[in-house]
């Protein structure tokens, strides 16, 4: 019997088979979870639907996280399909590409508000809408990055948004804990995803990461998927409000080691 046998939930933010969300979906499905997926627009639907169907999805719905009506409609559909949900995966982030190069100082008001709304507030909006849908013992998971705590070249406003996202995890953990509902974040090392491709200089960062991290290798979506599986399963029943690094130890390094 799999770790997630009988558990049902939603994954928001799947874009293609290179997505971190895809690594999570595969790990949860492997252990018996029943999963519903969302997409935004026809282009992403063409990528998401075949992937979701390959894992036997019974729910594939549109959801723009900036639209409260679409969020409410998603939760209504999930209630009709699943009754209750045992996990909610928030793998959603966005910033204008123009904001992800050069100095942070050039961030525009509109670009700042957009990045914070999509990448940070959307977690709270989803949890609020799903509050009476979450089963006792349910697990919520979001995705962060080390740029939330340390300056990373060209990450800029997304780093500020991820910092707000991590703070949201802490406050939501306090709100949801009395009901036995957990919420955590995974801070993954750099992975070649559609979202990462918008960051100027990402390829160089990705190459250098493996040279500096203690494990001397890049992180994969499978690495993140397996950690997500743990956090969503009953094995992590007392873990909430945490930001768990899956980065081969990169975050502990103050400077490259002498043999790198």
CA 182 – CA 127 distance, rounded (Å): 11
Residues β-bridged to residue 139:
87, 182
Instruction: Return the structure tokens found at 47.
Output: 């990528």
41: left (phi over 0), alpha (psi -120 to 50) or beta: left
pLDDT attached to residue 240? 98
> Is 145 a residue of the active site?
yes
pLDDT of residue 105 exceeding 80: yes
Residues β-bridged to residue 87:
9, 139
What's the mean pLDDT in 134-143?
A: 97
Asked if 26 contacts 35 with a C-beta cutoff of 8 angstroms, the reply is no
Say which residue, 193 or 147, is predicted with more confidence: 147
Q: What pTM value is reported for the model?
A: 0.92
- Reported as a single tens digit per residue, the pLDDT across 190-246 is 876 555 445 555 566 656 667 788 888 888 999 999 999 999 999 999 999 999 999
Buried b (16+ CB within 10 A) or exposed e, 192-222: ebebbebbbebeebbeebbeebeeeebbbbe
- Reported as a single tens digit per residue, the pLDDT across 37-89 is 999 999 999 999 999 999 999 899 999 999 999 999 999 999 999 999 999 99
In which residue are the tokens 């075949």 written? 50
CATH fold of 8-248? Rossmann fold (3.40.50)
pLDDT of residue 133 exceeding 90: yes
Range with the largest mean pLDDT of 97-106, 174-183, 249-258 = 174-183
pLDDT attached to residue 211? 78
- Angle formed by the axes of helices 221-232 and 20-30, nearest 10°: 50
Report the share of the chain in percent with pLDDT over 90.
81
What's the mean pLDDT in 167-172?
A: 98
> Is 171 a residue of the active site?
no
pLDDT attached to residue 257? 64
Task: Report the largest interatomic distance among the alpha carbons of the chain, rounded to a whole angstrom.
Answer: 58
pLDDT of residue 131 exceeding 90: yes
CA 226 – CA 231 distance, rounded (Å): 9
Dihedral sign for Cα 16, 68, 8, 181, please.
positive
pLDDT attached to residue 205? 62
- Angle formed by the axes of helices 156-176 and 109-116, nearest 10°: 40
Residue from 37, 39, 145, 245 carrying the catalytic annotation: 145
| pLDDT, mean over the chain | 92
Report the share of the chain in percent with pLDDT over 70.
91
Residue from 37, 39, 94, 155 carrying the catalytic annotation: 155
């Amino acid at each position: 019997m799999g770790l997630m046998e009988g558990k049902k939930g939603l994954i928001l933010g799947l874009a293609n088979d290179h997505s971190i969300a895809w690594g999570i979906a595969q790990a949860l499905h492997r252990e018996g979870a029943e999963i519903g997926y969302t997409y935004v627009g026809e282009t992403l639907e063409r990528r998401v639907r075949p992937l979701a169907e390959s894992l036997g999805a019974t729910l594939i719905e549109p959801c723009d996280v900036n639209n409260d009506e679409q969020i409410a409609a998603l939760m209504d559909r999930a209630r009709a399909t699943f009754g209750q949900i045992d996990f909610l995966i928030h793998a959603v982030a966005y910033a204008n590409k123009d904001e992800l190069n050069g100095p942070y100082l050039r961030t525009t008001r509109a670009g700042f508000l957009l990045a914070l709304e999509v990448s940070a507030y959307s977690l709270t909006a989803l949890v609020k809408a799903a509050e009476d849908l979450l089963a006792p013992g349910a697990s919520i998971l979001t995705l962060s990055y080390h740029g939330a705590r340390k300056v990373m070249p060209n990450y800029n406003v997304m780093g500020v948004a991820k910092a707000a996202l991590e703070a949201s995890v802490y406050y939501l953990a306090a709100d949801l804990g009395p009901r036995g509902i957990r919420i955590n974040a995974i801070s993954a090392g750099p992975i070649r995803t559609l979202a990462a491709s918008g960051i100027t200089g990402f390829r160089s960062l990705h190459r250098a990461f493996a040279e500096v991290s203690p494990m001397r290798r890049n992180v994969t979506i499978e690495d993140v998927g397996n950690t997500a599986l743990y956090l969503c399963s009953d094995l992590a029943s007392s873990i909430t409000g945490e930001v768990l690094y899956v980065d081969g130890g990169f975050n502990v390094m103050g400077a490259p080691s002498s043999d790198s």
